[in-house]
Amino acid sequence: MNTDPDCIFCKIVAGEIPSFKLYEDDETFAFMDINPVNPGHALVVHRAHHRDLFEIPAADVAIATRAAQRVAKAVQATLEPAGMNLLQCNGPAAKQSVPHFHMHVIPRHMGDGLTMNWDLVQGDMDEIGALAGKIRASL
């Protein structure tokens, strides 16, 4: 499987750097975003390193999307937000900051003011870890 030793998400998948893991199987890995735009913000990746939507094989998109649906259902069951966005960014103008194809699972609330391009603000690690535990229980 294709990996990049310099890629932060490849390192997370390999367990070389820590993450609040939600789910993993032979092909996918899901974990909490440590700069959550809303509580419960999670990321889902295919284990294989592909830069973006334009490089990843279609079959791997399908596999990652299936895992994202599973994680989104667990986030929904845990937090019961009024809405949910799945977001996937490609390239600098779309604010892709990590060049390893990934899907954002983002709980939404009425009037949460979330715009498409947000600034990274580090979250509370205790709160993120606690939510990870609750969401894992729904997987």
User: C-beta of 1: minimal distance to ligand AMP in Å?
Assistant: 20
The item of Zn ion, ligand AMP, none sharing an interface with residue 86, based on CB under 5 to 8 Å by kind, is none
When binding is defined by CB under 5 A, the residue of 68, 100, 101, 128 that contacts Zn ion is 100
The DSSP secondary structure of 40-51, one letter per residue, reads T-EEEEESS---
Distances (CA, A) of 17 to 9, 14, 20, 77, 114: 9, 8, 10, 28, 29
Under the binding rule (CB under 6 A), the answer on residue 33 touching ligand AMP is yes
What is the chain's Cα-based Rg?
A: 14
Helix-strand-coil percent breakdown of the chain, rounded to 5? 30, 20, 50
50 is catalytic: no
109 binds ligand AMP (CB under 6 A): no
Instruction: Give the nearest distance from C-beta 98 to Zn ion in angstroms.
Output: 8
- The residue ranges that bind Zn ion (CB under 5 A) are 4, 7, 9-10, 49, 100
